[in-house]
A and B are shown apart, each in its own frame.
Chain A
C-alpha cells in the first residue's frame, strides 16, 4: 500500500466512525465488555489506549526504515509493551483508585489486536504526521466506543453519569452487572448495523 492520500481530518474521522475499533472492526473487545460499567472507567482506559496507540504509531513510523521485515511483529510488540509500561506506572502513581478498578486491563493493552494492526497496516508505511493522526483517530475511536458503552450501561444500570445522579432511579439494574457487557455490545452493534442499513437504503433511493 502506498503512502496515504487522505487528509489529517479524514484520518481522524475514519478511525472514529468508519473503522471504529469496537463497533465496526470488532477488535479489542475484552475491555469493552469487561470494564465499561461506568463512563469514568471507559474514559480512563480510552485515554490509556489513545496514548499507547499514538506514541507507538509515532515510534514505528520514525524507525520503520531500520526494521528488518521478518522481525517486524516482535518489534511492534516490544514497542507497544514499552509504552504500556510507561502508562501503567504513570497511572499507578497518579490515579491509584481508578488504576485498581481497571485491574489487569491496563497491562493487557499490549495484547490488543487493534494497536498491532494499525502499526502493521498504517504506521510502517507512512511518515510521522499521518501516523500521528491515524493513531489519534483509532485511539479516539476506541475512546468513543468505550464512552458510548459506559454511557448506556451507567445510565441504564445505575441512573448515573460520571458518578452523579441523573435520573434519580435505576431503570434496568441488570446493565450494572458485569455480564451485561456482552448484551450491551451486541445490542449497540445491532443498532449501528440498523443505522447503516437505513442509510444505504436512503442513498440508493436518492441515486435512483
Chain B
C-alpha cells in the first residue's frame, strides 16, 4: 500500500509548514515571551534581568480580555522568578484561555534604567488551536461515535477490513477536497452576495461535483487505484458527514487552515471508526450470535459500546 505512505508524508509536510508559519511573530524587544500557565497564571519572560522591586508592583501591569477592554482583570499576586528574568502573575479568578488577552506592562525597569512601556498580546499558540481542531474532530467529537453522522455508510461498509480501509481513505480525500472548495465558495461568493439561504443547495452540489472530479481524475491517472476505490466514490455522496463539515465550517466562520484541519480530522476520524468497527465485525462472523441479533442489530450494539468508550474523550482539552 504505497500510496498510503505518500499521504502520510504529505500530511506531515503540511503540519511542519504550519508550525513554521505560526511560529514567526514579533514582540517588544525586551519582553521575549508571555504565555498562559494553567487557569490562573500568566508567565512573562524578559530578555534580560529586571528589578525585583519594579516587578512586584501590581500597578505596573494592566490586563484585559480582547473582546471587552472595559473590564480590567485584577492581579492578586505577583511572584518574581529566581533568575529575575521571569514574572509570574497570579489571578484569583480563572482566565478564559480561549480568548486572547492584552497585557500592558508600564515603565519596565532594568539595571535602574527605564525601558518604557509595552503592550503584549497573550494567547494560546495558533498551531495549538489548529491541532486541537484536528484532534477534536478526530477523537473528542468523532463524527461517527459522538455526533452520530454517516451511519448508513458506516454500517454498510464495515463488514470487511479491506473494504473499510478503502472506503475510509476515499472518503478522507473527497472530504478534504470538497470542504476546501465549499469553504472558498462560501467565503468569496455566498457571503459577499448575502446568499446564505443557498448553503444547502450549493454545498451538496459541490460535493457531487468533487466526487465526480475525483472519479474522472483517478480513472485517467491511476486506473489500478480507481479499480480499488472507484466503487466507494458513489457511496461518499450518501454520507451525511460530507455535508455536515462544510455546514459547520460556514457556521463557525473558520479560515482556510482551520477548515483544512477540521475536514482532515473528520475524514481521519471516519477512517478510524470504520477500521475499529470492521476489526470487531470480522471477529463477530466467527462468534455464536443469537439468531435475532445476527447482522445489523449486533453491529449496532457493538457501535454503542464503541460510543461509550469514546465518551471517555469528552471534555478533554488540548493546550
Which residues of A pack against B, CB within 8 Å? 26-30, 33-34, 73-74, 77-78, 81-82, 84-85, 88-89, 104, 107-108, 110-113, 116, 178-183, 185-187, 189-191, 193-194, 197
| Measured CA separation A85–B243 after assembly (Å) | 14
- Counting chain B CB atoms within 10 Å of each CB, the highest count among A85, A178, A179 belongs to A179
| Measured CA separation A113–B147 after assembly (Å) | 18
In the complex the two chains form, is B148's CB within 8 Å of A30's CB?
Answer: yes
Query: Which single residue of chain B is at the shortest CB-CB distance from A28?
Result: B152
- Tell me what chain B mostly uses at the interface: helix, strand, loop, or mixed: helix
* Number of B positions contacting A (CB below 8 A): 40
User: With A77-B208, A107-B247 given, is the CB distance from A187 to B151 under 8 Å?
Assistant: no
Bitwise, B147-161 to A at CB < 8 A (1) or not (0) is: 111111001000000
A-B contact pairs, 5 of them (CB 8 A): A30-B148, A111-B239, A190-B293, A193-B291, A194-B292
Chain B residues near A187 (CB-CB < 8 A): 297, 301
Q: Which among B60-68, B133-141, B170-178, B196-204 touches the partner chain?
A: B196-204
Chain B residues near A194 (CB-CB < 8 A): 292
User: With A108-B240, A111-B238, A186-B301 given, is the CB distance from A27 to B152 under 8 Å?
Assistant: yes
Taking the nearest CB of chain A, how far is it from the CB of B300, in angstroms? Answer: 3
Q: B78 an interface residue at 8 Å Cβ cutoff?
A: no
Taking the nearest CB of chain A, how far is it from the CB of B248, in angstroms? Answer: 7
User: With A108-B149, A111-B240 given, is the CB distance from A84 to B300 under 8 Å?
Assistant: no
In the complex the two chains form, is B298's CB within 8 Å of A186's CB?
Answer: yes
Give the contacting residue for A85; candidates B150, B197, B237, B248; CB below 8 A.
B197
In the complex the two chains form, is A182's CB within 8 Å of B201's CB?
Answer: no
| Measured CA separation A163–B90 after assembly (Å) | 47
Chain A residues near B296 (CB-CB < 8 A): 26, 186, 189
In the complex the two chains form, is B148's CB within 8 Å of A190's CB?
Answer: no
In the complex the two chains form, is A189's CB within 8 Å of B297's CB?
Answer: yes
Taking the nearest CB of chain A, how far is it from the CB of B5, in angstroms? Answer: 32
- Known pairs A29-B151, A73-B208, A186-B300; list 4 more (Cβ under 8 Å): A33-B148, A88-B200, A107-B200, A111-B237
Taking the nearest CB of chain B, how far is it from the CB of A167, in angstroms? Answer: 24
Q: Which among B9-17, B35-43, B303-311 touches the partner chain?
A: B303-311
Chain A residues near B301 (CB-CB < 8 A): 182-183, 186-187
Bitwise, B119-136 to A at CB < 8 A (1) or not (0) is: 000000000000000000
Query: Which single residue of chain B is at the shortest CB-CB distance from A32?
Result: B151
Chain A residues near B151 (CB-CB < 8 A): 29-30, 33
Chain A residues near B307 (CB-CB < 8 A): 179, 182
In the complex the two chains form, is A111's CB within 8 Å of B243's CB?
Answer: yes
Query: Which single residue of chain A is at the shortest CB-CB distance from B298?
Result: A186
Chain A residues near B150 (CB-CB < 8 A): 30
In the complex the two chains form, is B152's CB within 8 Å of A30's CB?
Answer: yes
Query: Which single residue of chain B is at the shortest CB-CB distance from A195?
Result: B292
The 4 closest A-B pairs by CB, nearest first: A182-B304, A186-B300, A34-B148, A29-B151
Query: Which single residue of chain A is at the shortest CB-CB distance from B234?
Result: A73
In the complex the two chains form, is A30's CB within 8 Å of B308's CB?
Answer: no
Chain B residues near A28 (CB-CB < 8 A): 152
Chain A residues near B239 (CB-CB < 8 A): 111
Q: B205 an interface residue at 8 Å Cβ cutoff?
A: yes
Give the contacting residue for A30; candidates B149, B204, B311; CB below 8 A.
B149
Chain A residues near B152 (CB-CB < 8 A): 26-30, 113
Q: B242 an interface residue at 8 Å Cβ cutoff?
A: yes
In the complex the two chains form, is A30's CB within 8 Å of B240's CB?
Answer: yes
In the complex the two chains form, is B147's CB within 8 Å of A34's CB?
Answer: yes
| Measured CA separation A189–B299 after assembly (Å) | 11
Taking the nearest CB of chain B, how far is it from the CB of A125, in angstroms? Answer: 21
Give the contacting residue for A197; candidates B198, B292, B311; CB below 8 A.
B292
| Measured CA separation A187–B149 after assembly (Å) | 20
Give the contacting residue for A81; candidates B148, B200, B297, B298; CB below 8 A.
B200
Chain A residues near B244 (CB-CB < 8 A): 104, 108
Query: Which single residue of chain A is at the shortest CB-CB distance from B146?
Result: A178
| Measured CA separation A73–B243 after assembly (Å) | 16
Chain B residues near A108 (CB-CB < 8 A): 149, 240, 243-244
In the complex the two chains form, is B155's CB within 8 Å of A29's CB?
Answer: yes
In the complex the two chains form, is A179's CB within 8 Å of B304's CB?
Answer: yes
Chain B residues near A113 (CB-CB < 8 A): 152, 238
Chain B residues near A191 (CB-CB < 8 A): 292
Query: Which single residue of chain A is at the shortest CB-CB distance from B148?
Result: A34
